[in-house]
Amino acid sequence: AKIVQSINKISAKLDETLFLMWIKLKHNVFIFTIISRKHAK
């Protein structure tokens, strides 16, 4: 049962990290898109 608990903790941390990375990525893409549009005009 202890092994399962630690696996759950690890996967929860991994999910959190991936989620934060995803948000950062989307944020960067959003900014990049705005900058590109400004330069395109």
pLDDT of residue 39: 86
Domain boundaries, the chain: 1-41
CB atoms within 10 A of CB 5: 9
For the cut 80, the answer to whether the pLDDT of residue 36 exceeds it is yes
Q: What's the pLDDT at 8?
A: 95
pLDDT for 21: 98
Give the CA distances from residue 21 to residues 1, 24, 30, in Å, rounded to whole numbers and listed in that order: 30, 5, 14
State pLDDT tens for residues 5-24. Answer: 999 999 999 999 999 999 99
Here the tokens at position 36 are: 């590109």
The per-residue pLDDT for 2 is: 93
Both tokens of 39, joined, read 């330069």
- What mean pLDDT value characterizes the chain? 94
> Vertex 17, ends 28 and 19: CA angle to 5°?
55
